């Protein structure tokens, strides 16, 4: 599960350069796609790579800004309103580098941010994973939603561990529960608890668990619990131990307290979890790699209606066959890499020509890339073309195959054997 972190961060940075370039040139759709591609790479790096806390924080701040800008562009394009001035990238970079975070506000903000009120992901959005969904329905969703149904019956599970490879959909599935239950969903990432910006980590943990109790019925979701278990070399040993102890005390309180608070956590390496933490979970659910039909569905979902492409049904199946052992996150990265192919063509094009718009909406004529010997060719570059008059070439099967070649599956055969063994030992 080692990933080439430098390479992934560099990729993200390349996309940002592209995004800012397109943003400044008012090619907003291209800019939006590049921002989102960059965000994907950065998130991939922070989730699946081992890095210093400072770098993680730094990337998270950046990611938020890029996502905001991409959303802003999308909203404005949908409303067809005038797009705000280009994001001030240089200024943003300075701000990030000189950020001065006050510790007390950091603690308060973290607590505020744990409450999820707007999860848009539904169970139906989560492709496959029928077994995991059934278990979650019976052990968390129904008891949380209808506590009366479960009174006097055998005690329902209160803590569930979702485990499986990186990028497999553990967080995605857990987030969908927030939407399904419509009860308070308190979510935090275990590594956040260890941030050096937190002034009083134990107090913060107590407050978060208290919040879950006060808001019951509630779900407390702790993502990437591995980081609370493994000794992180960058972390101050004593502080780490205190955080872990407080965390265990609080979990125990949930178990003893007969409260209507459900605990869901995710782990990528459950076999490396501290035995005390491992025992705290009554149910352990393995999240497997997607099968061929699920991969077809994922590929199509990413492309849905707003990406222009020429890929046909047989080609989707061929791509799904070729992506065996790829996680949903890997598949997303492949698709975003392929979506960038037409953008790269546009950026490097030196000749464009005006041709009738193949769509009925928009201006009657669009600028298409063409070869230098085309009779109508004009020697111009992308900067000279207005965003709404630009024809963006569709993504082709060949773009997908090139992208596939560049992205290797994150999950190794060895990982799969370890999960199999853990599932066997814990069934
Ligand atoms: N079952 C799924 N159906 C549809 N998309 C999925 C599914 N699982 C994962 N994804 C996509 O892959 C991304 C990465 O999944 P995530 O839940 O973050 O992985 P992890 O297991 O590391 O927590 C999600 O944001 C989502 O876009
Ligand atoms: Mg996750």
Give the C-alpha separation, 200 to 196, whole Å. Answer: 10
CA nearest ligand 1 atom 7, residue: 169
Q: Where does the chain hold its CATH 1.10.8.60 domain(s)? A: 303-410
CA-based max dimension of the chain? 82
Q: Which residue has the higher pLDDT, 36 or 104?
A: 36
pLDDT digits (tens, 9 = 90+) for 271-297: 988 888 888 888 999 999 999 999 999
Paired strand residues for 265: 161, 222
Ligand 1 contacts CB of residue 295 (under 6 A): no
Pairing between strand 261-267 and 218-223? parallel
pLDDT at 39: 84
Counting ligands in written order, which one lies closest to the CA of residue 191? 2
Residue 163 has pLDDT above 90, yes or no: yes
pLDDT digits (tens, 9 = 90+) for 294-311: 999 999 999 987 788 999
> Can you spell out the DSSP letters for 263-313?
EEEEES-GGGS-HHHHHT-SEEEE-PPP-HHHHHHHHHHHHTTTS-B---H
Residue 83 has pLDDT above 70, yes or no: no
Question: What six digits make up the tokens of 108?
Answer: 């308060």
Residue 99 has pLDDT above 50, yes or no: no
Q: Tell me the range of 36-40, 242-246, 398-402 where mean pLDDT is highest.
A: 398-402
CA of 416 to the centre of ligand 1 (A): 18
Contacts of 333 (CB under 8 A, 6+ apart): 40, 41, 44, 407
Q: What is the pTM of this model?
A: 0.75
pLDDT at 196: 65
pLDDT at 389: 92
Mean pLDDT score across all residues of the chain: 83
Residue 105 has pLDDT above 80, yes or no: no
Ligand 1 contacts CB of residue 167 (under 6 A): yes
Residue 355 has pLDDT above 90, yes or no: yes
Give the C-alpha separation, 254 to 219, whole Å. Answer: 11
CA count, 13 A, side-chain hemisphere, 307: 23
Contact 188, 221 (CB under 8 A): yes
Contact 107, 198 (CB under 8 A): yes
Contact 285, 174 (CB under 8 A): no
Q: Which architecture characterizes domain 303-410 according to CATH?
A: Orthogonal Bundle (1.10)
Paired strand residues for 366: 355
pLDDT at 107: 65
Main-chain phi, psi angles of 158, to 5 degrees: -115, -10
Q: Where does the chain hold its CATH 3.40.50.300 domain(s)? A: 103-289+416-425
Per the listing, tokens 């990611």 go with 63
Ligand 1 contacts CB of residue 175 (under 6 A): no
pLDDT digits (tens, 9 = 90+) for 211-232: 888 888 888 999 989 888 765 5
| Residue of 84, 109, 81, 87 lying closest to 34 (CA atoms) | 87
Q: 177: which DSSP letter?
A: H
Q: Which of 47, 165, 172, 268 gets mutated to test ligand 1 (max ligand atoms within 8 A of its CB)?
A: 172
CA of 162 to the centre of ligand 2 (A): 10
Residue 89 has pLDDT above 60, yes or no: no
Q: Where does the chain hold its CATH 1.20.58.80 domain(s)? A: 1-100
From the options 3.90.1150.10, 1.20.58.80, 3.40.50.300, 3.20.20.100, give the CATH code of 1-100.
1.20.58.80
Which SS3 state, helix, strand or coil, does residue 28 take?
Answer: helix
CA of 186 to the centre of ligand 1 (A): 19
CATH fourth-level superfamily of 103-289+416-425: P-loop containing nucleotide triphosphate hydrolases (3.40.50.300)
pLDDT at 110: 67
* C-alpha 98: how far from chain center: 26
| Residue of 243, 251, 180, 240 lying closest to 213 (CA atoms) | 251
Residue 90 has pLDDT above 50, yes or no: no
Residue 375 pLDDT class (50, 70, 90 cuts): very high
Q: Which residue has the higher pLDDT, 359 or 98?
A: 359
Could you give the dihedral angle defined by the CA atoms of residues 130, 135, 141 and 142, in that order, rounded to the nearest 10 degrees? 110
Per the listing, tokens 């009120």 go with 117
Which SS3 state, helix, strand or coil, does residue 221 take?
Answer: strand
């Amino acid at each position: 599960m080692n990933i080439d972190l430098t390479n992934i961060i560099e990729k993200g940075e390349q996309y940002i350069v592209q995004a800012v370039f397109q943003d400044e040139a008012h090619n907003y759709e291209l800019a939006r796609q590049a921002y989102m591609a960059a965000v994907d790479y950065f998130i991939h790096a922070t989730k699946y790579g081992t890095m210093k806390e400072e770098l993680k924080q730094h990337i998270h701040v950046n990611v938020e800004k890029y996502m905001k800008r991409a959303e802003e562009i999308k909203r404005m394009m949908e409303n067809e309103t005038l797009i705000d001035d280009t994001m001030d990238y240089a200024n943003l970079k300075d701000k990030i580098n000189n950020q001065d975070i006050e510790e007390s506000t950091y603690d308060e903000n973290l607590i505020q941010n744990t409450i999820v009120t707007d999860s848009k992901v539904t169970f139906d959005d989560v492709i496959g994973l029928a077994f995991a969904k059934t278990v979650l329905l019976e052990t968390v969703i129904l008891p949380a939603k209808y506590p009366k149904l479960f009174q006097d019956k055998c005690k329902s599970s209160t803590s569930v561990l979702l485990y499986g490879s990186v990028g497999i959909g553990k967080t995605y599935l857990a987030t969908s529960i927030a939407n399904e239950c419509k009860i308070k969903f308190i979510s935090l990432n275990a590594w956040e608890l260890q941030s050096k910006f937190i002034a009083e980590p134990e107090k913060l943990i107590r407050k978060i668990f208290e919040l879950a109790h006060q808001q019951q019925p509630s779900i407390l979701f702790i993502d990437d619990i591995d980081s609370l278990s493994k000794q992180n070399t960058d972390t101050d040993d004593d502080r780490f131990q205190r955080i872990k102890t407080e965390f265990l005390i609080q979990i125990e309180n949930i178990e003893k307290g007969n409260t209507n608070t459900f605990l869901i956590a995710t782990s990528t390496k459950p076999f490396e979890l501290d035995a005390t933490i491992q025992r705290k979970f009554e149910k352990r659910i393995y999240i497997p790699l997607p099968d061929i039909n699920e991969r077809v569905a994922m590929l199509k979902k990413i492309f849905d209606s707003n990406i222009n492409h020429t890929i046909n049904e047989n080609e989707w199946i061929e791509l799904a066959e070729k992506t065996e052992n790829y996680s949903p996150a890997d598949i997303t990265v492949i698709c975003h890499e392929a979506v960038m192919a037409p953008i790269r063509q546009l950026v490097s094009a030196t000749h464009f020509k005006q041709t009738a718009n193949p769509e009925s909406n928009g201006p009657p004529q669009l600028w298409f890339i063409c070869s230098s010997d085309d009779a109508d060719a004009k020697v111009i570059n992308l900067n000279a073309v207005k965003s709404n008059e630009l024809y963006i070439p569709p993504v082709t099967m060949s773009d997908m195959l090139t992208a596939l070649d560049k992205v290797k599956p994150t999950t190794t055969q060895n990982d799969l054997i370890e999960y199999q063994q853990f599932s066997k030992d814990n069934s």
